[in-house]
Amino acid sequence: MIRDRFRSRTEHTLDAKGRLNFPSRFREVLRQCDSEILMVAPWNKHLRAYPVAEWEALETKLLTQGGEQAGIASFVRYVVGGVTECVPDKQGRIRLPADLRADADLKKEIVLTGMLDWVEIWDKGVWHVENRTTRDNFENHEESLAKMGIF
């Protein structure tokens, strides 16, 4: 069976306790990964939520290839040092700790974007700016897409 991936985007609202609805289609992907644990890490202007297996693959790359890359220690300090485990509750919500919410400047309105192997968690206003920039500069991706046979 081919494993589902994280696809599409949805908008949600953080509640007063920092809980965020994690869509059922995303929870289904987690179940197929044999773990409902999400590893949520700071990532520039947003958060990234990984299934445990994908997170461990990222850590392995950092361990095996990170020493070859300049400045990787500060990246590890920021991302790995900031990661937290989140498990959806019975209502399908994950609780995002206050420090992660602050790091990504998450307010009330949130956009979750499926990125195949992980989910991005954005403040809605920041996401709109990022998405518009990507759309307005779409031609910048044509060469890379052509090399993959997509464009």
Q: Comparing C-alpha atoms, which of 82, 6, 5 is closest to residue 43?
A: 82
Q: Which domains does the chain have, with CATH numbers?
A: 9-147 (3.40.1550.20)
Q: Is the distance from CB of 68 to CB of 89 less than 8 angstroms?
A: no
Q: Which candidate, 7, 39, 47, places its Cα nearest to that of 23?
A: 7
Using CA atoms, how far residue 122 sits from 1, 52, 65, 79, in Å, is 31, 20, 28, 16
pLDDT of amino acid 2:
59
Span 75-98, pLDDT tens digits? 999 999 999 999 999 999 999 999
Tokens of 105: 């400047």
Nearest to 46 by CA among 115, 133, 111: 111
- Tens-place pLDDT, residues 7-33: 999 999 999 999 999 999 999 999 898
